[in-house]
Amino acid sequence: MPDSSPSLLALTLAGQALLQSDPNRIAVPSGADGPLAGQIRLAQAAPDAVTQEYTRLFLNPAGVECHLWQSVHAAEPRLFGPAHHSALEWFRRFGAEPQQSNEPADHLGLLLLFYARLIEEGVPGDVTGAYFNDHIAWAAEFTSKLRQQARHPLYLALAREIQSILASGGTQAM
Amino acid sequence: MPQYGWLLDPKRCVECRACEAACKQWNKVPFGVRLRQVRIYESSAGKVSALAGACNHCDNAWCMKACPVKAIWRNANGALSIDGGKCLGCRQCAAFCPYQAPQWNEDLKVMQKCDQCPDRVEAGQLPACAALCPTGALRFATWDDIKETGVARIDNVSNPAGTRPRIRFVVAGFPG
Amino acid sequence: MAITRRHLFQAGGAGLFAAPSAFGAFEQYLQPASRSAADVRKLVTCCGFCTPACGMQVTVQDGVATFVEGLPGDAHGAGHLCGKGTSSANFFYDPDRLKYPMKRTNPRRGLDDDPGFVRISWTEALDTIAEKFGGYIKNHGAESLLFLSRNSPDLLTRLINALGIVNRVDHNDICFTADQAVRKYTTGGKTWCEDFENARYIVLFGWDLVAKNKIPAVKGILAARQKGVKVIHFSTNQTATSRMASEYIPVRPGSDPAIALAMINVMLTENLFDQDFVTKYTNFHQYESEIRSHFAPYTPEWASPLCDVPADVIRRIGQEFGRARGMAPAYKKTLTANYTNATQMSHAQVILQILGGTIDREGGNYFARTHSVPGVDTVYPRPANPPKTGRRIDGRDKLFFVNDVDQGIFATLADGMLRRYPGMIKGAFINAYDVKGFPQPLRMVEALKTVEFIVTYDFLPSDTVMLSDIVLPSSHQFESNDIITRNFNAKYPQSVVRQAVAAPYFEARGTGNLVIELGKRLCPDYFKTPDGAWISGSTLLNEKTKRAGLGETFAEFRAKGIVESPAPFVPRTNFTAPNAGGKCQIYVPQFKDKGFEPLPHWHLKREQPSAAYPYYFVTYIPGTHRRNTTQNCSILHEMMPTNQVTIHPATAARHGIREGDPVRISSRVGAIELPARLSRTVREDVVLVPHGFGHRSRSLGNAANKGARDGDLIPDLTPEEMLALMDFGGSGAIMDAVVNIGRA
């Protein structure tokens, strides 16, 4: 099972890149390699382009390209929908809750950070697998939209990273 | 167990659709599936009536007979439900229903319909739609009471007697 | 999937925070849980969609509203809501709602231009607005700022007055302004409560609040009909109101004043009016000869060809109304408010109420008895306001009686900005108004393009948001606290709490907070308490609660939910029309003093059918939607996703139009295309289109590009035209268009 788990670093970087529009606020451990870590480091020198791209992709009042919240990808898109309540329930069973109580709990960045923590803590594979099915697998649709819409290399790298997380998690969930 | 039925009083319906919204939020019905729907009928003479339609939980339910996998079942209160785990999505129930009650859920690839809010009824409450109707245009009560109060047929609306639906209509107008 | 104890144990007992995570990110975004299970409760609040603000009970799970139902004991909804109110949570959790302040980066401003929004902080947004607005006032005077907003809440009014803003413009010209202006000089004010339950006879002129699903009105008419009270519905088309009425009488659009004048004629000629009331409480006898001779020519026979209602029917209804001392509810928010003869209509209607002796009487139209909730100016006295100097962009200063009630005007705004005073408006603050609410919305878009700096405060990304430089996310009623008095069923005072059932989501803020923050930056002396501290919304609300006698604190009032002060209904015997000696005025000398008619005359509406445009265009707000704001709400969108044009089958046949065919509808100012719906519920000379559709903002996931804007067909106005048409109450006249149709 551990062999097929996505790397903690990949999950952590992807989660932060989704939660944070300013690349300088994403902690990249020294020695971390891989395309996403590299893109974040590069972007830290020119953060404005990333911030603008983040707004355009995820928050733009003139038309969001990729919604960050799982509930918005449900058959009936809405904020704070069933996926929010389910994510809260998962977090709480393990004694956690989001720091930002005024935003939905089913933000893909939070969901990935929580997933990383379950794996890091050695939670059994059937449990992480169930979590994956409940709260990570949906990101396939998000990722394909992100791949199509992203114009900044950081977000293209992010899309590829989430795609490989989905691939390895999918193996594990079986 | 008590048996229930529905009473529609079209002169009271103002098309506010609180019944529809109540059903959607109580039963978490997804976009595109409308278990209760206010439908507007206009006769060739221009007479309009508004009726809040849904499953009428027929005693002789053609949908139940038509279902090839017996996914439709009746609870002790007479309410018909579709078992989503058994439903194949063949839509035979919809083809045989005179009331457009079974609805296709594209997301789950199954049919869904009104199940008469069994959770609420068991808790002594009215189904969400009837509870939230502001005018009494849509009422829910024991079938014995409903049978006494309403008539079986109304202009404009197909209501075949063959399925023995648990629905009656008020045809009397306002006094004066 | 159920998680077993074994899994929890293996996860480490103390949970995920026992040891630091590998890269420290987990702890940055998640924290130890404050509770182990969901918190579910039921909270009392008020709806925010329309003015009755019906009481609600909201089931809330972990701060998320999951079920919305009516509030028993509430004088307005009386335990129920309409479909809109019931769908409030779906509106609230719209994924497209505005979440953070944004600024525009693309200087090109148009409905189809991507604004290139980037997220900014509230501080940056407020600082920028204060700097820009302050600069415009300093360099161009207060006249250079446009506040497109209602005159509420009181904190916003304080800001507007403190800045000396002369151009606050609202939509009430297309709603109730003319009626308010007339009522001030006839009954003394807003006799807008209707005692339907005790009414003896009810005549509705284009009044359609049953079909608009205003629950107090629905329940009122229902109560009257259950008691066998006769309800007459004069209307251009058959609606849910007509179905609940005893008689639906189709009338020619814009001809209602002819019916009302003829009913007055019948009541005067046959002396079928409340002699006692008229003698004691009105100026009837002072002007009796003028009044009698004025109405003498307005016979039912005269009215009949104008309104298409047989003379004997008008006579019978006049007699029945007079004998029963009937009531005719005010036309606010209804069809008849929106022709250029609306001022005359309102005056005639008030006279019917006066002759019926139903002004502030049981079974009639009465003043609301409410708790006296003090405004901010009472709680925290302010420095003197600067004088309001400068030009009025909508030309309202030419309309004395509109200026007097401080409402409007949408219909003349674009003309003022483009033609009368081009370039005068440098900055605009738009409080949740969409361009679609204006007649000729594309002209309003052009007008907004002439503004240097536009700030829009709204809940959803409307078309107006797309034209803005700074966008501020507003909170929803589910995120707000307030005291809501009952103003429509109000024989004695009742107040219902509005409380935040959910935390403010994302970075949405309430109007009070926004205004205080702008006030601190622009006019700090006006936003301090007497002891020099900044005014705070919550302290102000506590103070209002206490002074209104609703509780020691707002929290105490919140715990009660509803506070009422039952008292017997004491009919008013002294009325407050200015300089009227405590009487109601049938004949209004003040109108004459200003060069208008002291008694209502018949005027044709502005636009009449012609060879080029042979049909009356009638627009309406369907009960399913709240104007142009709810089309994106998933539940309401599903019920009514788009608009159609309703045409009589005989009319359709003349044009070779069949059900569902695309129809091109054109007027002298524009054209739209909509699918045909054939129905005998409209007159053959009426083309009927619901308002609210045709959103262009592509970020409205459900509503974008569905249907068409009715406003594209409706000509806007100038103040001069209003005066020439004797529309001195300033009706926006959005029904007053004529159109042609053809198969598209």
Q: State CA A111 to chain mean position distance.
A: 6
- The arithmetic mean of pLDDT across residues C712-725, rounded, is 93
Whole-number Å distance between alpha carbons of C311 and C258 = 11
Strands B103-105 and B80-82: unpaired
Judge whether residue C9 has pLDDT over 60: no
Does the distance separating the beta carbons of A113 and C11 come in below 8 Å?
no
Q: How many CA atoms lie within 13 A of C362 on its CB side?
A: 6
Residues in chain C with CB shorter than 8 Å from the CB of A123 are: 7, 10-11
pLDDT band at A81 (very low <50, low <70, confident <90, very high): very high
Question: Domains, chain C, ranges and CATH?
Answer: 191-366+572-593 (3.40.228.10), 615-743 (2.40.40.20)
Find which of A76, A84, A141 to mutate to test the B interface (most B CBs within 10 Å of its CB): A76
C63 touches chain A (CB under 8 A): yes
C421 to C144, C415, C450: CA distances (angstroms): 10, 9, 11
Q: Which of C718, C576, C693, C528 is nearest to C627 (CA)?
A: C693
| Exposure of C578 in the CB half-sphere (CA atoms within 13 A) | 11
What is the average pLDDT across C501-508?
90
pLDDT value of position C330: 82
CA distance A12 to A2: 17
Mean pLDDT computed over A43-54: 94
Q: Which residues contact C12 (CB under 8 A, 6 or more apart)?
A: A121, C18, C19
Show residues of chain A in contact with C100, CB under 8 Å. Answer: 59
| β-sheet with C494-498: strand ranges across | C482-485, C494-498, C562-564
Contact present, A20 and A26 (Cβ < 8 Å): yes
The closest CB to that of B42, out of C70, C226, C680, belongs to C680
Query: Which residues contact residue C686 at a Cβ distance below 8 angstroms, ignoring those fewer than 6 apart?
Result: C236, C237, C253, C615, C616, C618, C648
Under 8 Å CB pairs connecting chains A and C tally to 171
Query: Given 3-state DSSP classes, what are the helix, strand and coil percentages for chain B, each rounded to the nearest 5?
Result: 25, 20, 55
Chain A contact for C455, CB < 8 A? Answer: no
The CB density around residue C127, as the number of other CB atoms within 10 Å, is 14
- List pLDDT tens digits, range C423-479: 999 999 999 999 999 999 999 999 999 999 999 999 999 999 999 999 999 999 999
Q: Is residue C467 less than 8 Å (CB to CB) from chain A?
A: no
Kindly report the average pLDDT of chain A as a whole number: 91
% helix, strand, coil for chain C, step of 5: 35, 15, 50
- Relative to beta strand C670-678, strand C645-647 is parallel
**What is the predicted pLDDT for the residue at C22?**
86
Average pLDDT over residues A86-102: 93
ipTM: 0.97
Give chain C positions within 8 Å (CB) of A72. 95
- pLDDT > 80? residue B81: yes
pLDDT score, position A174: 37
How far is C507 from B103, CA to CA, in rounded Å?
A: 39
Each residue's pLDDT tens digit, C393-416:
999 999 999 999 999 899 999 999
Q: How confident is the model at residue C13 (pLDDT cuts 50, 70, 90)?
A: very low
Of A16, A77, A100, the CB nearest to C701: A77
Domain boundaries, chain A: 2-173
Q: At what angle do helices A47-54 and A35-43 cross, to 10 degrees?
A: 110
Q: How far apart are CA A6 and CA A34, in angstroms?
A: 13
Using the predicted structure, report yes or no on whether residue C38 has a pLDDT greater than 90: no
Q: Do B25 and C244 make contact, defined as CB atoms within 8 angstroms? A: no
Residues of C in contact with B45 (CB under 8 A): 680
pLDDT class of C331 with cuts at 50, 70, 90: confident
CA-based nearest residue in chain A for residue B32: A76
> Is residue C221 within 8 angstroms of chain B, CB to CB?
no
Q: Which domains does chain B have, with CATH numbers?
A: 4-163 (3.30.70.20)
- The answer on pLDDT for C12 being more than 90 is no
C-alpha dist (Å) from residue B41 to B10, C122, C415, C658: 11, 51, 43, 18
Q: How far is B15 from chain A (nearest CA, A)?
A: 23
- pLDDT bracket for residue C14 (50, 70, 90): low
d(CA C398, CA C406): 13
Tell me the residues of chain A between 12 and 31 that have a Cβ less than 8 Å away from chain C.
12, 15-16, 19, 21, 27, 29
Element holding C458 (H helix, E strand):
strand C453-458
Q: What are the distances in angstroms from CA B141 to CA A147, C15, C599?
A: 55, 50, 55
Asked if B176 lies within 8 A of C213 by C-beta distance, the reply is no
**Would you say residue C3 has pLDDT above 50?**
no
Cβ distance A75 to B28 less than 8 Å, yes or no, reads no
Write the pLDDT tens digit of every residue in A96-155. 999 988 899 999 999 999 999 999 999 999 999 999 999 999 999 999 999 999 999 999
Strands C118-119 and C102-103: antiparallel
In whole angstroms, how large is the CA radius of gyration of chain A? 15
pLDDT tens track for C98-127: 999 999 999 999 999 989 898 999 999 999
The answer to whether B126 touches C74, Cβ cutoff 8 Å, is: no
pLDDT given at position C438: 96
Cβ contacts of A82 on chain B, cutoff 8 Å = 28
- Report chain A residues whose CB lies below 8 A from the CB of C3: 93, 127
Could you tell me which CATH class the domain A2-173 is placed in?
A: mainly alpha
- Mean pLDDT lowest for which of B153-162, C28-37, C448-457, C500-509? B153-162
Residue A6 — very low, low, confident or very high, per pLDDT cuts 50/70/90?
confident
> What is the C-alpha separation between A52 and A50, in angstroms, rounded?
5
Answer whether the bond into residue C153 is a cis peptide, omega within 30°. Answer: yes
SS3 state of residue C183? helix
Q: Residue C601 has what pLDDT? A: 96
> Is the Cβ pair C35, A102 closer than 8 Å?
no
What integer pLDDT is reported at residue A30 of this predicted model? 87
